[in-house]
């Protein structure tokens, strides 16, 4: 227990009204009554009402009765109270705090402090409750009755249940590869406004496939109470890129599945995973059991890994996690790894993720900061280098992560263990971590995961909190769905990362003369090698060729906007699948980047765009996940928005009334610019904004882009003095980004 345990039964009680179930993201009004216990509360004593770090409930405010999230506090005996809200006034994970101090007078037993969350008496619409579902959302109360600032948690806490609302978005998910005549699964679900799978689905849809599928019914019906609908034992009958569509009875398209490549056979199969998330036992939401169940049954992942902050994982919880991973792992169906987030301070190396291949391993914590039992403190690894040393004889994989703390891969890195870096999570996108690795000559693969705190691994909508991005996914290319095969994929960097979409991606490097392919990184000593004429992402090769052929084959879940072809830190080409002659009235304005590497990396892009001599026929946001942030087309010639980025990108696209007339004026706190509409074309106009990759990009698109499948072949001249790290960064029109792991070729 992090707080005092002195006589909690004498510290009073708390109730909440109303109780029951409430829709995620809805506006509600609650009255919480704290009744003082035997000790009362002395002069200058206080109570705290705390919520989890992960909660994105509306920020309480005390000054504007007519506005959302208005909170009032009063004492039944007339005592004068001081009230304030602080995002970090208590011990994690219960950081978010309403602090109520008795500044004149005191409370006796039976006196009350009444707190009205979302007090509607002055016209407020109420308190916007958190946007994600939780079985037991607590208004946790702590009491400093004796005015020592040593708090006691009440033995029973007020609790409500947060549930999904009706679906507004439908999704269909199939594997991204399948052999012809093999069986596959189609999984479908409806999600509410905030990305929660809904059990309020009661619609019938028509199903259509662009290729022949045996067993696909003409219609499917969602039933109330069910979070998903799954069709098993469907069978492919012809080669191609299969997609399945959901349509209303009136033939309105409601969802299109991700693409699935159907070939006669595959050497490696793609398996989708979220290798990084947390539950309520550390800093997340809902239980660890719920975590794995959601990943398997609601996100339809092949792989999941719970990665709690190590300094919060007790020995009991570590044993429980090992029991869960053993229980949920079923070869060829669903794989979990025992693991944890090594959460060292940035100055000692920063965050790393550890995946063990077997249960029963020792957890080597970065500290015991929130673990009171110090009986195993001698097993701690308090720096990243210490951690790598302790992992040498263990069957594990490590990758670098950026969260609150960021991984300093220049400070500590072990090529034997750390074979990947996490370029994207719900915290944002962090391409500078790849760049740090390439600068140092490290050979790492690229992963994307969620680091989800909201109980939705594999489908991690950021909600309305400081998490500015949709959680990522990693596609592991492996021989089969087992821990050993997946670990081999991680160690060989045979994987790619996305910001949450499921793209089919092959990146192949072809050699004119035989190249030497290494089984393991030759930096680690001699090992097995073989002569080859082509290689895949993640491979390490030595070649005498002056040039190689890079072949990129991508099938998107949305039209492809561009493909950046890179050699290390250099972008060789930005390929767009359309021609200049195809450009139309559609433009895009995109802002991106972050303030700096640390916790306060969010960049504010609140601003406006206006047209003189032209108008917006329509406009829609890009990567707008927080519905609390406005995006308003106020007049035909003016847009206003609130937006932040944390390394990734957001923005808008607009269809102009006239393709070339007038001037576009963009105004944000970082960039103010006037652009003749006629100057907006195929090549991007870039306006730098300092910080870490901060900029605004403006460019033009065709009115319709049909290019969801792209095949690009380019000759790349190799350099002699370093690795040629050949990889691609792809942007889809729906805002999703995909990174291949580099193929490393040295001369």
Q: What is the mean pLDDT of residues 239-246?
A: 98
278: in domain = no
Whole-number percent of the chain with pLDDT over 90: 96
Is the pLDDT score of 468 beyond 80? no
- 593 plus 658 within the same structural domain: yes
3: in domain = no
- 218 plus 292 within the same structural domain: no
DSSP state letter for 349: T
499: in domain = no
The range of the structural domain enclosing residue 364 comes to 285-494
- 247 plus 298 within the same structural domain: no
Q: Tell me the C-alpha distance between 318 and 320, whole Å.
A: 5
691: in domain = yes
DSSP state letter for 359: T
Q: What is the mean pLDDT of residues 256-285?
A: 96
pLDDT digit string, tens, across residues 84-103 = 999 999 999 999 999 999 99
- 179 plus 142 within the same structural domain: no
59: in domain = yes
CA 234 to chain centre: 30
Q: How many domains does the chain have?
A: 4
- 94 plus 139 within the same structural domain: yes
439: in domain = yes
Q: Tell me the C-alpha distance between 346 and 427, whole Å.
A: 16
Give pLDDT, residue 1: 56
- Of the residues 450, 475, 494, which one is the last residue of a structural domain? 494
Could you give the maximum distance between any two Cα atoms of the chain, in Å?
88
Q: Tell me the C-alpha distance between 163 and 225, whole Å.
A: 12
Q: What is the mean pLDDT of residues 620-642?
A: 94
Is the pLDDT score of 317 beyond 90? yes
Helix axes 315-328, 288-297, angle to 10 degrees: 20
Do residues 39 and 10 touch, judged by C-beta distance below 8 A? yes
Do residues 8 and 152 touch, judged by C-beta distance below 8 A? yes
- For residue 101, the cross-strand partners are 46, 82
pLDDT digit string, tens, across residues 487-539 = 999 999 999 999 999 999 999 999 999 999 999 999 888 888 999 999 999 99
- 300 plus 446 within the same structural domain: yes
3-state SS track over 237-296: CCCEEECEEEECCCCCEEEECCCEEEECCCCCEEEEEEEEECCCCCCCCCCHHHHHHHHH
Mean pLDDT over all residues of the chain?
96
737: in domain = no
Q: Rg (Cα) of the chain, in Å, rounded? A: 27
- 156 plus 189 within the same structural domain: no
Q: Tell me the C-alpha distance between 472 and 60, whole Å.
A: 30
Give pLDDT, residue 525: 85
Looking up residue 65, the CATH number of its domain turns out to be 2.60.40
pLDDT digit string, tens, across residues 653-671 = 999 999 999 999 999 999 9
- 53 plus 155 within the same structural domain: yes
pLDDT digit string, tens, across residues 430-467 = 999 999 999 999 999 999 999 999 999 999 999 987 67
Do residues 322 and 316 touch, judged by C-beta distance below 8 A? no
DSSP string, 16-62: EES-SEEETT-EE-EEEEEE--TT-B-TT-EEEEEE-TT--PPPPBS
3-state SS track over 369-410: CCCCCCCCHHHCCCCHHHHHHHCCCCCEEEEECECCCECCCC
Residue showing tokens 């035997």: 38
548: in domain = no
Tokens of 660: 């070339």
Rounded (5°) CA angle 602-604-609: 150
Give pLDDT, residue 494: 98
Looking up residue 173, the CATH number of its domain turns out to be 2.60.40.1930
Phi, psi of 303 (to 5 degrees): -140, 140
Q: Tell me the C-alpha distance between 639 and 632, whole Å.
A: 6
Residue showing tokens 């509306």: 58
Q: Does residue 93 have a cis peptide bond before it, meaning omega lies within 30 degrees of 0?
A: yes
Give pLDDT, residue 278: 96
Q: Tell me the C-alpha distance between 734 and 747, whole Å.
A: 39
Give pLDDT, residue 215: 97
Q: How many CB atoms lie within 10 A of CB 378?
A: 6
Q: What separation in angstroms does the CA of 692 have from each of 317, 428, 648, 655?
A: 38, 12, 11, 30
- 259 plus 156 within the same structural domain: no
- 122 plus 197 within the same structural domain: no
């Amino acid at each position: 227990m992090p707080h005092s345990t002195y006589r909690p039964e004498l510290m009073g009680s708390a109730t909440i009204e109303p109780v029951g179930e409430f829709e995620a993201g809805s506006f509600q009004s609650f009255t919480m009554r704290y009744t003082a216990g035997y000790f009362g509360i002395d002069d200058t004593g206080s109570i705290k009402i705390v919520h989890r770090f992960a909660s994105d409930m509306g920020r309480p405010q005390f000054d504007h009765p007519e506005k959302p999230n208005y909170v009032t506090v009063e004492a039944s005996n007339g005592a004068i109270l001081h009230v304030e809200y602080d995002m970090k006034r208590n011990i994690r994970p219960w950081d978010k705090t309403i602090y109520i101090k008795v500044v004149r007078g005191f409370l006796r037993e039976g006196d009350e402090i009444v707190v009205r969350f979302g007090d509607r008496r002055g016209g407020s619409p109420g308190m916007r409750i958190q946007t994600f579902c939780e079985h037991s959302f607590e208004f946790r109360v702590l009491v400093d009755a004796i005015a020592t600032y040593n708090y006691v948690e009440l033995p029973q806490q007020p609790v409500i249940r947060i549930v999904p609302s009706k679906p507004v978005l439908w999704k269909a998910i199939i594997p991204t590869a399948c052999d012809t005549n093999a069986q596959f699964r189609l999984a479908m679900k409806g999600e509410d406004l905030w990305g929660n799978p809904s059990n309020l689905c009661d619609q019938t849809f028509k199903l259509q496939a662009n290729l022949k599928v045996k067993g696909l019914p003409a219609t499917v019906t969602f039933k109330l109470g069910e979070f998903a609908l799954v069709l098993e034992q469907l069978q492919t009958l012809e080669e191609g890129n299969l997609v399945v569509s959901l349509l209303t009875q009136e033939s309105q398209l409601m969802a299109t599945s991700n693409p699935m490549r159907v070939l006669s056979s595959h050497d490696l199969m793609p398996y989708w995973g979220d290798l990084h998330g947390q539950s309520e036992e550390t800093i997340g939401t809902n239980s660890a059991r719920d975590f794995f169940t959601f990943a398997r049954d609601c996100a339809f992942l092949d792989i999941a890994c719970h990665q709690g902050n190590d300094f919060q994982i007790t020995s009991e919880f570590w044993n429980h996690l090992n029991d869960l991973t053993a229980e949920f792992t079923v070869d060829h169906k669903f794989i979990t790894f025992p693991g944890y987030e090594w959460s060292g301070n940035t100055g000692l190396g920063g965050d790393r993720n550890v995946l063990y291949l077997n249960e029963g391993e020792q957890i080597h914590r970065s500290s015991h900061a929130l673990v009171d039992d110090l009986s195993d403190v001698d097993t701690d690894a308090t720096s990243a280098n210490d951690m790598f040393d302790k992992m040498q004889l263990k069957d594990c994989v490590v990758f670098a992560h950026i969260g609150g703390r960021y991984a300093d891969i220049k400070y500590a890195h072990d090529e034997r263990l750390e074979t990947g870096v996490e370029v994207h999570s719900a915290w944002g996108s962090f391409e500078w971590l790849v760049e740090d690795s390439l600068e140092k000559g490290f050979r790492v693969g690229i992963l994307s995961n969620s680091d989800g705190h909201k109980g939705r691994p594999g489908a991690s909508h950021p909600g309305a909190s400081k998490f500015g991005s949709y959680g990522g996914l990693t596609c592991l290319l492996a021989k089969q769905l087992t821990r050993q095969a997946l670990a081999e994929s991680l160690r060989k960097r045979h994987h790619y990362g996305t910001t949450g979409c499921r793209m089919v991606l092959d990146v192949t490097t072809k050699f004119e003369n035989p190249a030497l392919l290494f089984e393991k990184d030759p930096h680690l000593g001699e090992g097995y090698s073989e002569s080859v004429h082509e290689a895949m992402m993640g491979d390490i090769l030595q070649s005498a060729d002056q040039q190689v052929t890079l072949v990129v084959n991508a099938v998107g879940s949305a039209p492809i906007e561009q493909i950046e072809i890179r050699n290390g830190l250099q972008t060789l080409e930005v390929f767009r699948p359309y021609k200049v002659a195809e450009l139309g009235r559609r433009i895009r304005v995109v802002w991106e980047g972050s303030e700096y590497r640390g916790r306060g990396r969010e960049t504010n892009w609140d601003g406006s765009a206006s047209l003189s001599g032209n108008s917006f026929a329509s406009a829609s946001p890009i990567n707008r996940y927080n519905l609390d942030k406005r995006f308003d087309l106020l007049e035909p010639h003016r847009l206003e928005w609130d937006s932040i980025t944390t390394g990734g990108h957001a923005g808008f696209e607009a269809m102009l009334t006239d393709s070339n007339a007038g001037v576009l004026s963009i105004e944000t706190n970082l960039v103010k610019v006037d652009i003749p509409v006629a100057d907006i074309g195929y090549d991007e106009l870039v306006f730098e904004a300092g910080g870490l990759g901060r900029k605004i990009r403006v460019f033009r698109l065709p009115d319709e882009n049909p290019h969801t499948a792209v095949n690009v072949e380019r000759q790349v001249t190799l350099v002699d003095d370093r690795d040629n790290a050949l990889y691609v960064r792809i942007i889809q029109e729906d805002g999703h980004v995909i990174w291949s792991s580099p193929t490393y070729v040295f001369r």
